[in-house]
Structure formats: structure tokens, C-alpha cells
Amino acid sequence: MKSTILLVLTFFSIQNIHSQLKPVAYSDGNQKLNGYSIVPKKLPQTKPGILILPAWKGIDQHSKEVAQELSKLNYNVFIADIYGEGNYPKNTAEAGQQSGYYKTNFNEYQKRIQLALNELIKSGANADNIVIIGYCFGGTGALEAVRGNIQTQGVVSFHGGLGKDATRKNNTIKPKVLVLHGADDPYVSQQSITDFQTEMREGKADWQMIYYANAVHAFTEISAGNDNSKGAAYNEEADKRSWNHMKLFLNEVLK
């Protein structure tokens, strides 16, 4: 009986240590959006915030787990809903179609990022102490945030697309930029890497790009499997290293 009581007390004490993700409804005009917020129980006075931009299938288990881990590090976190209710992809074909739309219509992508950022600030994050991170399609979004002059101290792109339409001008980039890239990612061409680095240099950005050996696309996603020949696969070492590189970046950039 005592052991049962102890287990119950331990469960509730663990539940009380860390905050839980809470759904947040917001909107873009008539389009309902469904994000998630998590605010640590002991948010520092500087109120650092992190906005997460999910991969191409929208808010998934991985983005929720990332939010929970960041909350444990005392960051106020919000997960953005880019697609909106009624538009969530049911398969990879729909995900490709939806993400492709926002890559082409980058102004709308930037708008959805800004709306999510507004929700993060409403939840208590300091507007002058925020970093935007993204995975795959969300990694592309993190770069679109700096291209769109969205107010943020820095961005982190995990295995994200780097390119933009060649007709778009390279502008001055104020936020710090960290790109975490699989060295063998078949979906990011050498030309897009060269163009991205040129964009960073012409924009006088404070930027870093780290390559991970033997890593392809989606190297942080356990659900991607471990077969590199498919072009997208999980890589445990790259996952751990990229997480630590992000933490170093956050410690440098956020107050």
C-alpha cells in the first residue's frame, strides 16, 4: 500500500515539475489556426521565447517533444500552425503540395509566422528576446523570417531548404543565423548552398552553417527511419550534435 501511494505521489510530483503543452486557437482572418503554447513554471525575468516552425506535415509529435524539452530549459515556447484548420496534410503528397504553396507564396508564409510570433509574445515572451527555430519546411520558414524582417534575435534551421527565387533581392540580415545541415542531404543542391551563403555575405549577416557527416535530410526525425538511401533518415549523432549546437546558439543570442 505504501509503495502504491509513493508511486502516485511521485507521478503527481513529476507532473507538477514541468509545464504542459496547451492548445491555443488564433486566426488569420477567417482561417482558424491551432498552435500550442508551453510556459515554464519558473520563467526567467528576461522572458526568453522560442517559436517552433514544424516540418511539412504540420504540428507533429516531434515538434511537441522539442517544445517540452525547451520548456525544461526555461524557455517560453510556441508551436506555429502554418496551414490552418481544415488544411492539414493527410499524406506526403498533400504535405508537398501545402508546403510548396507557402514556399512559393512566401509573403503568406511570413504572415503566418508573424501571427504565431504574436501569440508567443501574448503568452509572456519578451518581444526583444526571441529565437525562431524550424525543421525541414519549418527550417525554410526560419530563413523566411529573416528575409521578411520579422523581429527576432536569431533563427535556427534544422535540415531546412535554403533556396529562394533568384528574382528576389538579397537584403540586409540583422538576426543571427544558424543552419544545421546534413552533409549528404540530396534535397539541397550545391547551387542552393552557394546562393544561400552569398545571400548571407551580401546581407552582412552573422551566420553559421554546420555540416553533419553521413547525415541526409530529416536527420532529427526518428520516424524517418535509418536508410540514408531514401534521402531522408534519422541520424542519432547528428540529432544530438545539432541539439547541442542549438543550445550554444540560444545561450549566446538570448538574454
Rounded to whole angstroms, the Cα distance separating 253 from 238 reads: 22
Supply the pLDDT for residue 2: 41
Supply the pLDDT for residue 19: 86
Mean pLDDT in residue range 64-73: 98
Domain ranges of the chain: 21-253
Supply the pLDDT for residue 16: 45
Mean pLDDT in residue range 214-237: 97
Mean pLDDT in residue range 159-186: 96
Confidence of residue 17 (pLDDT cuts 50, 70, 90): low
Q: What is the bridge-based pairing of β-strands 31-38 and 22-28?
A: antiparallel
2-16, 174-188, 202-216: segment of lowest average pLDDT: 2-16
Supply the pLDDT for residue 9: 42
What CATH superfamily is the domain 21-253?
Answer: Alpha/Beta hydrolase fold, catalytic domain (3.40.50.1820)
Cβ atoms 88, 56 nearer than 8 A: no
Mean pLDDT in residue range 104-133: 98
Share of residues in the chain with pLDDT > 70 (%): 93
Nearest to 216 by CA among 201, 237, 243: 237
DSSP 229: G
Mean pLDDT in residue range 55-79: 98
Rounded to whole angstroms, the Cα distance separating 194 from 198 reads: 6
Mean pLDDT in residue range 230-238: 98
